[in-house]
Amino acid sequence: MIELKNVTKKYGKVTAVDNINFSVKEGEIVGLLGPNGAGKSTTMNMITGFIEQTEGEIMINGFDITKKPKKAKKCIGYMPEGVPLYTDLTVKEFVTYMAEIKQVNKKERKEKIRQIIEKTGLKDVEKKVIKNLSRGYKQRVSMAGALVGDPKILILDEPTVGLDPKQITEIRNMIKELGKTHTVILSSHILSEVSQICNKVIIINKGKIVAIDTPENLENRVNNKNCIYVTVEDNENKIDTIKNKIKEIKSVQLTQKNEDGTKQYIIEAEGEIDLRKTIFNEFAKENITIFEMKKADTTLEEAFMKLIEGGNK
Amino acid sequence: MWAVMKKEFKSYFFSPVGYVFIGLFLIMFSIFFYIDVFTYQSTNFEYIFYSGATILTFIIPILTMRTIAEERKTGTEQLLLTSPVSITKMVLGKFLAAVAIVVITELCTFMYFGILCFFGTPHITTALVTLLGFLLLAISYISFGILASSITENQIIAGVITIGFFILTWFLPSINEIFTNFSLINMFSKFPSGQIDIADTVTFITFTIVCILLTIIVMQRRKSVR
């Protein structure tokens, strides 16, 4: 669906995007992840044909964006960063204008516009002037603009920035819903968002691709330690001796003393074994009461930081 | 192209720009009309346009300064430039919208023509030739204004560049006669005599085409440096 081959973007001597390659298949929801200034927006702007790459080739649905821009652009719905909108227009006028410049068939236009307004939940405000709308609604209007013309590909640049938690959930659900019928690329620096919505993550740092994988694999990739968090009530400090009882334990570390007398420990196991069952049984024998126990997963956050730091070295 | 034109035309009236342009022009024109008719006892419709042409110098930037600069500043150009509309069509759409406003303004001036009919018999063909010349002057001004708007994201700078350029071409002939042929407003001054000057018409149109082409080139070029 989308293919980038050796794409580079230079501004004078500064290289914003450095020789990146990736492809997105039909139906995938791909998250572009990276710190600010990593080249996410630049990459998206190149895919949508807003800017031209210095080198390399970008194919959209089989059309080269620089050689066949009209055909390629017809396949794309773009929601730019910071949701630029014609704020003088009403919602309906804006969507109509987008339909006109995207050359939606005249006969179907009215019906399509109605459908999109309904889909994005803008029915109640369709006659309002955009500048009077709240940020959340503006985001929806921008999304509606992207959906006009039934593009197969949706490119969303930081779609949830500046929204309140409720609106974020709404927009995320909308994207998930759209992902069923569209190929989606979205950028974000919120990791949990990407891991929730996307089935593929591309991590970019300093214009280079650091990793391309599924969110789960990325977590596993750096998830080499096998640690367990336990919160216990252990007044006689029996936990110190537990290490001798379970041979697989590598280390026991106190991380926190709670006000109610319980203590939190982090237990690291040797190798890749899950010690939870053993710990539960042994602690019971020793009369250590377990309040809480959980496996310490490396979050995408940590994976991200590690990959970025790795890239910086 | 028509979609862009339609929207641009409408937004002239969503914001006060369209009203301000037409209103200012008609107020100034009325003053000149008054002076012409009552002070000089003239029933000559065409001569008012000599003064009318100077008004254009100052009010055309009102129409053109925001056309591209504002889209660039607010980022809405991303919507336009990532849609299947080509840059050429986008620029032409904006150009035609501004031209449409001028045409409306010209149509409004017919009421003065009507008033003059009470006092005397103004010459209709001369009036039409004058209006044609006036339109040619306006389209070359507009095309330059849009070019100025495309090179900056600051509307004010675009406006100042435009007015500056017009005033420069206006006063160039007074520095040296060589420049007479470079002055757009001088070229217009032949039309109120009722003759269509082919050379001047061609120059106006060429100037317009060159400005529009330059605007398109500027927009294309910015794609790779942006």
Q: Looking at chain A, how many residues does it have?
A: 313
Q: Residues A124-132: contacts with CB within 8 Å, 24+ apart?
A: A125/A91, A126/A90, A126/A91, A126/A92, A127/A90, A127/A91, A127/A92, A128/A90, A128/A91, A129/A87, A129/A88, A129/A89, A129/A90, A130/A85, A130/A86, A130/A87, A130/A88, A130/A89, A130/A90, A130/A91, A130/A94, A131/A87, A131/A88
Rg (CA), chain A: 25
Divide the 313 residues of chain A into consecutive groups of 10 and give the mean pLDDT of each group.
90 88 90 85 91 91 89 91 90 92 89 91 91 90 91 90 85 88 88 82 87 80 69 80 79 81 82 79 84 74 70 52
Angstroms from B6 CA to nearest CA on chain A: 9
Q: State whether A11 and B85 contact (CB < 8 Å).
A: no
Residue B140: is its pLDDT beyond 90?
yes
- Residue of A50, A67, A104, A132 to mutate for B, most B C-beta atoms under 10 A: A50
Give A-chain residues touching B224 at CB under 8 angstroms.
51-52, 54
Chain A residue nearest residue B6, CA to CA: A97
- Give the single-character DSSP code of B178: G
Angstroms from B111 CA to nearest CA on chain A: 32
The pLDDT value recorded for residue B38 is: 82
Tokens found for residue B179: 């420049």
Domain ranges of chain A: 2-221, 224-296
Which neighbouring-strand residues pair with A55?
A8
DSSP string, chain A: -EEEEEEEEEETTEEEEEEEEEEE-TT-EEEEE-STTSSHHHHHHHHTTSS--SEEEEEETTEETTTSHHHHHHTEEEE-TT----TTSBHHHHHHHHHHHTT--HHHHHHHHHHHHHHTT-GGGTTSBGGGS-HHHHHHHHHHHHHTT--SEEEEESTTTT--HHHHHHHHHHHHHHHTTSEEEEEES-HHHHHHH-SEEEEEETTEEEEEE-HHHHHHHH----EEEEEEE-TT-THHHHHHH-TTEEEEEEEEE-TTS-EEEEEEESTT---HHHHHHHHHHTTPEEEEEEE-PPPHHHHHHHHHHHHH-
- Residue of B78, B89, B219, B220 to mutate for A, most A C-beta atoms under 10 A: B78
Range scoring the smallest mean pLDDT among A110-124, A284-298, B67-81, B153-167: A284-298
Q: By the 8 A CB rule, do B14 and A131 touch?
A: no
The pLDDT value recorded for residue A78 is: 93
Q: Work out the pLDDT band at B22, boundaries 50, 70, 90.
A: very high
Give B-chain residues touching A74 at CB under 8 angstroms.
84
Q: Which amino acid is at B123?
A: H
Across residues B134-156, what is the average pLDDT?
A: 94
Give A-chain residues touching B84 at CB under 8 angstroms.
69-70, 73-74, 101-103
Give B-chain residues touching A50 at CB under 8 angstroms.
78, 81-82, 223, 226
The pLDDT value recorded for residue B225 is: 77
Residues 111-130 of B with CB under 8 A from A: none
User: What is the phi/psi pair of residue B207, to 5°?
Assistant: -55, -45
Sheet with A55-60, strands from edge to edge, namely A14-24, A2-11, A55-60, A63-64
Q: State whether A87 and B4 contact (CB < 8 Å).
A: no
Across residues B88-97, what is the average pLDDT?
A: 94
Is the minimum CB–CB distance between B220 and chain A shorter than 8 Å?
Answer: no
Please state, rounded to an integer, the average pLDDT across all residues of chain B.
Answer: 89
The pLDDT value recorded for residue A312 is: 54
Tell the CATH topology of A2-221: Rossmann fold (3.40.50)
SS3 B147: helix
Angstroms from A67 CA to nearest CA on chain B: 13
Taking CA atoms, A163 is separated from A135, A170, A196, in Å, by 7, 10, 17
The pLDDT value recorded for residue A11 is: 87
Instruction: Name the architecture of domain A224-296.
Output: 2-Layer Sandwich (3.30)
User: What is the phi/psi pair of residue A98, to 5°?
Assistant: -60, -40
Q: State whether A78 and B82 contact (CB < 8 Å).
A: yes
The pLDDT value recorded for residue A313 is: 47
Q: Which of A45, A49, A86 sits opposite B76 (nearest CB)?
A: A86
The pLDDT value recorded for residue A269 is: 78
Which ipTM did the prediction report? 0.87
The pLDDT value recorded for residue A301 is: 67
SS3 B82: coil
**Measured between alpha carbons, how far is A113 from A110 in angstroms, rounded to an integer?**
5
Q: State whether B82 and A48 contact (CB < 8 Å).
A: yes
Across residues B16-22, what is the average pLDDT?
A: 92
Residue B1: is its pLDDT beyond 70?
yes
Q: Which amino acid is at A77?
A: G
- Total domains in chain B come to 1
CA dihedral B124, B130, B132, B134 (to 10 degrees): -140
Across residues B144-169, what is the average pLDDT?
A: 93
- The label of the residue with tokens 């529009």 reads B212
Cβ pairs A/B, distance under 8 A? 73
